Structure formats: structure tokens, C-alpha cells
């Protein structure tokens, strides 16, 4: 089909030109930024003092929880910092990464493993919770440490990904023909190199009953330089249907560079969905979430899930009550078309699927 192929090439090259143009604009604006995603990943901001200085803030006015910082260190990629508003402790992006003293708050019902993932971990590196799909902890590495993360206490040491683990996981998948979808999670699966992803995808596509590869990732928002032409080529050539679920919580995260990277992915036929976590003082209003849905749609991403935050130790300050969550989604229903209203859901251990709350 030469005509279609040519059109495809034109589309792809247009997307790539826009991507390159945006990259170079980005590099001019932030001329001291490293250029490759690997370089940015190896130069994350890990010192709270450096972060507050970059944002013209004062460390004394928002003390950190030293205990939680030691257990779950600060990690922020510089492109994500550029998307934050300076001089504003209430910035919704900053709140997601700041190891606030509020993390010391203890509350009944909060625990290190609220989803009881240890109980659905039959092979190292693989979680089998729901019928027909399994999750691989592709890498323990994340580009950012989100303070609300439900895996902030996950036992990555026992599930640390290695080819040996992956081989055992693939054998498990081969032996269960009811599994049709493999979800790459982490850590963040896009923190793995193209070589590692390619190795893994080749093995997964050789399992006949696997049809879909789903990638759950926050990297497109915090390190959009990772969405390269190489990656899109890698994902285009697999026989598996590829779905990327980005984890975007606020419209402010969708910068021009994010838009260009997502455009590159959607041009090669990847289905793009979003899941957000409902977080107090980040996105707990129908106006903020409606703006997010509209902005997502403008970059070819459909809202998919809005998750109630999991009750993980250290995250009490992000809690939103169920009644408030329901009211927010009802307001969204009144102002948005149905396809832009995400499903309000909660993960509960020992349930055969997520609980839809509305
Ligand atoms: S990127 Fe995902 S896994 Fe990593 S800290 Fe954030 S929420 Fe957790």
C-alpha cells in the first residue's frame, strides 16, 4: 500500500519535525539543559534546597519530613521543574513532589501496602491481580518520586527486574492462556532503555495468546524527551496492540514539549489514555479536572480513570473524601461530554476488578 505508506511517512516526518522544532525551542529556552533523556535522568534534582532555590522559595516556610525523605528520596527531573510556577508553594506540580512535613501525619487505615500487592505476586517482578491481565514491574526506577505513590514502600529489592526475573515472568505468562494483556509498570517502564524494552517486547509477542501491551507511565509528563522517534519505531513495529496510559494530574503538566512527544506517539497508532489520582490541593475541583480533560483531548489523550488516592503511609495530606469525589465527578458530568469524564475508581485488595464509584 505505497500511497498509505507515503502518507504515513509524511505524517510521521511532520510529527517528527514539530517534535524537533519544539525540542530545539526547549533547548534554547533552557540552554543549560542536557539534551538526551538519559542525561536528564542522570541529573535529577534530589536536594530539596536546590529545588526551592530554582523556584525562588524559602526552605524555612515549608519544612521537609526528614524521616520520609530518607525512605523515599526527592527526585524531580528538571523539565518538570520548568513547568512549575516560581514563588508559589501552592503550585500543583510542586505539591506532588515536595516531601512535606505533613508526610509524618499518621492515621488509622493507612499502611505501607494498602493494596496487598504482596499477595498477588506469584513470581518476582509479576503481579497477577485481575483476570486476563498481568503486570510486570519492568524497572524499579522512576524519573520522579510522586509523594502520593502507592508503591513508595514497594519491595523493589525482591522484585528488582533482571532478565532472569523477566524470563520467569514470561514462562508464567506462557503457561496461562487466559492472559491476553501485559501491563508494563514499575517504577516507570519508560525509564528502561529501548534495548531492554525491545528485548522484553520480542519475548512477549512470541507468546501467541498475548494481544495487548499496555504501558503505564508518568515519564511523558515529567521527562517528555523520552518520547523519541526510536521509541515510537520500536512500538510501531510490534504485532501487539499498544496502549500507553499516561499519569497526568493537572493541565499545567501538558507543556509544548509534552504535546509534541504525545503527538509522535499518537501518529504511529498508539492508543493514548490518561489516569489521574484525585489529590487534595492539587486537582480536587471539577474546574481543574475539566480543564485537564479538555487539554488531554487536545493532545489526543482520552481521560480514563480518576483514582481515589490509596491509603499509603505518608500520604494522609492528599486524602479526598468519597463524598467530595462524587460531587466533583457529578459537576464534571454537567459541564463535559461523557467521553471526557473519567471513571471515578478505587482499587481495593481482594476485589476482582477496580470499584467504580459512580
Ligand atoms: S512515577 Fe509512578 S511509580 Fe514512580 S513514584 Fe510516581 S507514581 Fe510512583
- What's the CA gap between 1 and 8, in Å, rounded? 11
Query: Which atom of ligand 1 is closest in space to residue 142's alpha carbon?
Result: 4
b/e code 298-311 from CB counts within 10 Å (16+ = b): ebebebbbbbbbbb
Per-residue confidence (pLDDT) for residue 116, from 0 to 100: 83
Contact between 136 and 183 under an 8 Å Cβ cutoff? The reply is yes
Distance between Cα 220 and ligand 1 center (Å): 12
Task: Name which residue sits closest to atom 8 of ligand 1, judged by CA.
Answer: 149
Higher-confidence residue of 166 and 14: namely 166
Per-residue confidence (pLDDT) for residue 2, from 0 to 100: 32
For residue 34, pLDDT beyond 60: no
CATH of the domain at 6: 3.20.20.70
Query: Which atom of ligand 1 is closest in space to residue 150's alpha carbon?
Result: 8
Q: Which residues contact ligand 1 via a Cβ below 6 A?
A: 142, 144-146, 149, 151, 186-188, 218
Task: Name which residue sits closest to atom 6 of ligand 1, judged by CA.
Answer: 146
8-state DSSP, 211: -
- What's the CA gap between 187 and 110, in Å, rounded? 21
Mean pLDDT over 48-69 rounds to: 96
Nearest to residue 225, comparing CAs of 26, 10, 5? 26
Q: Within 42-121, where are the H helices?
A: 48-54, 66-71, 78-82, 92-97
For residue 82, pLDDT beyond 90: yes
Query: Which atom of ligand 1 is closest in space to residue 186's alpha carbon?
Result: 3
Higher-confidence residue of 170 and 151: namely 170
Contact between 15 and 267 under an 8 Å Cβ cutoff? The reply is yes
- What's the CA gap between 19 and 224, in Å, rounded? 10
Distance between Cα 140 and ligand 1 center (Å): 10
**Backbone phi, psi, residue 135, to 5°:** -120, 130
Distance between Cα 218 and ligand 1 center (Å): 7
For residue 14, pLDDT beyond 80: no
Mean pLDDT over 187-200 rounds to: 95
Query: Which atom of ligand 1 is closest in space to residue 219's alpha carbon?
Result: 1
pLDDT tens track for 296-333: 999 999 999 999 999 999 999 999 999 999 999 999 99
Distance between Cα 6 and ligand 1 center (Å): 39
Per-residue confidence (pLDDT) for residue 4, from 0 to 100: 34
For residue 28, pLDDT beyond 70: no
**Backbone phi, psi, residue 191, to 5°:** -80, -15
Contacts of range 261-264, beta carbons closer than 8 Å, 24 or more positions apart: 261/19, 261/220, 261/224, 261/225, 261/226, 261/227, 262/220, 262/224, 262/227, 262/299, 262/300, 262/301, 263/15, 263/18, 263/19, 263/299, 263/300, 264/15, 264/16, 264/19, 264/227, 264/228, 264/229, 264/232
pLDDT tens track for 113-163: 888 877 888 998 899 999 999 999 888 899 999 999 988 877 666 666 677
For residue 168, pLDDT beyond 60: yes
Higher-confidence residue of 23 and 113: namely 113
Per-residue confidence (pLDDT) for residue 157, from 0 to 100: 63
Nearest to residue 245, comparing CAs of 268, 276, 223? 276
Distance between Cα 167 and ligand 1 center (Å): 24
Mean pLDDT over 187-207 rounds to: 96
Query: Which atom of ligand 1 is closest in space to residue 277's alpha carbon?
Result: 7
Mean pLDDT over 280-286 rounds to: 98
Distance between Cα 145 and ligand 1 center (Å): 6
The domain of 187 spans 1-358
Distance between Cα 142 and ligand 1 center (Å): 6
Mean pLDDT over 259-263 rounds to: 97
Which region among 118-122, 264-268, 280-284 has the lowest average model confidence (pLDDT)?
A: 118-122
Q: How many domains is the chain partitioned into structurally?
A: 1
Amino acid at each position: 500500500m505505497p500511497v498509505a505508506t507515503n502518507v504515513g511517512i509524511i505524517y510521521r516526518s511532520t510529527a517528527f519535525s514539530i517534535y524537533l522544532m519544539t525540542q530545539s525551542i526547549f533547548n534554547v529556552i533552557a540552554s543549560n539543559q542536557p539534551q538526551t533523556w538519559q542525561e536528564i535522568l542522570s541529573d535529577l534534582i534530589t536536594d530539596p534546597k536546590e529545588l526551592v532555590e530554582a523556584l525562588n522559595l524559602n526552605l524555612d516556610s515549608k519544612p521537609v519530613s526528614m524521616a520520609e525523605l530518607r525512605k523515599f528520596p526527592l527526585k524531580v527531573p528538571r523539565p518538570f521543574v520548568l513547568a512549575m510556577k516560581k514563588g508559589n508553594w501552592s503550585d500543583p506540580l510542586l505539591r506532588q513532589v515536595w516531601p512535606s512535613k505533613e508526610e509524618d501525619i499518621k492515621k488509622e487505615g493507612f499502611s505501607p501496602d494498602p493494596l496487598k500487592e504482596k499477595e498477588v505476586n506469584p513470581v518476582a517482578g509479576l503481579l497477577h491481580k485481575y483476570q486476563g491481565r498481568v503486570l510486570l514491574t519492568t524497572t524499579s526506577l522512576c524519573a520522579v518520586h510522586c509523594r502520593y505513590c502507592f508503591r513508595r514502600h514497594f519491595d523493589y529489592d525482591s522484585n528488582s527486574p533482571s532478565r532472569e526475573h523477566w524470563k520467569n515472568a514470561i514462562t508464567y505468562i506462557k503457561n496461562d492462556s487466559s492472559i491476553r494483556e501485559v501491563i508494563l509498570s514499575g517504577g516507570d517502564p519508560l525509564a528502561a532503555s529501548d534495548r531492554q524494552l525491545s528485548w522484553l517486547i520480542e519475548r512477549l509477542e512470541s507468546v501467541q495468546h498475548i494481544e495487548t501491551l499496555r504501558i503505564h507511565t508518568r515519564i511523558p509528563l515529567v521527562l517528555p524527551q523520552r518520547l523519541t522517534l526510536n521509541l515510537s519505531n520500536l512500538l510501531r513495529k510490534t504485532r501487539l496492540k499498544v496502549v500507553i496510559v499516561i499519569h497526568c494530574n493537572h493541565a499545567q503538566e501538558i507543556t509544548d514539549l509534552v504535546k509534541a512527544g504525545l503527538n509522535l506517539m499518537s501518529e504511529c497508532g498508539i492508543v493514548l489514555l490518561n489516569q489521574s489520582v484525585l489529590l487534595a490541593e492539587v486537582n480536587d475541583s471539577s474546574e481543574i479536572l475539566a480543564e485537564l480533560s479538555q487539554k488531554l483531548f487536545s493532545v489526543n489523550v482520552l481521560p480514563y480513570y480518576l483514582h481515589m488516592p490509596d491509603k499509603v503511609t505518608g500520604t494522609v495530606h492528599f486524602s479526598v473524601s468519597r463524598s467530595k469525589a462524587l460531587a466533583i465527578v457529578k459537576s464534571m458530568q454537567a459541564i463535559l461530554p461523557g467521553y471526557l469524564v473519567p471513571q471515578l475508581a478505587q482499587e481495593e485488595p481482594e476485589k476482582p476488578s477496580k470499584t467504580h464509584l459512580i
